[in-house]
Amino acid sequence: MDYPSKELNKWITTVNEYTPAPWERLPELDLYMDQVLTFMNKYLEPFSPEGERIITPSMINNYVKDGVLPRPVRKKYSQKHLGMLLMICSLKSVLSLPEISKLLHGLKTTDKINDIYAEFALTHSEAVKEATDRITETAGEDEDALRKLALQLALEANANRIVAARILSSLSEPPHPDKDKEKEKDKDKNKK
């Protein structure tokens, strides 16, 4: 039997052709929740387990509630929201929501979101290409070689996750605009 399989080769081709939407191609018009879901699920389809949706309305609501994602304005989500959601969805299988929040909010203090997003898109594409190249290099070998590669990739992913979490835990908490507003409201209430 040829390795990798036809299905795996098809997936490799799909993800190698995939690049996160450039900032300029993210919708500039604000979108309602159902439009956001359609957009997100379309762009993230190559990375979703078969038949599963990567994002749901309750997930988005929880990201907002937890302060990972800014609140929508009049139930509409902006280009900034979409960029952040693409980053959150790409990171959520590796980092916890508090870690993602710390990462994104820490970056926002020094850069514009479109610059952060551009760096994310480039790094994401490079990481996917590197991983799929490793599969392609194993092509023609037997099933055991692919199992060994899967083990290596899984262990590397776990090690990288641990290192990323340690780095984030060692960094100081960045200021969080929504939490600062809540503190101000609490101070105003206590004065009355």
Task: State pTM to two decimals.
Answer: 0.79
**Before 4, cis peptide (omega within 30)?**
yes
The Cα–Cα gap between 153 and 167 comes to 21
- List per-residue pLDDT tens for the chain, 192 residues long: 455 678 888 888 888 888 788 888 899 999 999 999 999 988 888 888 776 778 999 999 999 999 899 999 999 999 999 999 999 999 998 999 999 988 887 765 556 888 888 889 999 999 999 999 998 888 777 888 889 999 999 999 999 999 999 999 998 765 555 555 555 665 555 555
Q: Over 123-180, what HEC string results?
A: HHHHHHHHHHHHHHHHCCCCHHHHHHHHHHHHHHHHHHHHHHHHHHHHCCCCCCHHHH
Q: How many CB atoms lie within 10 A of CB 98?
A: 13
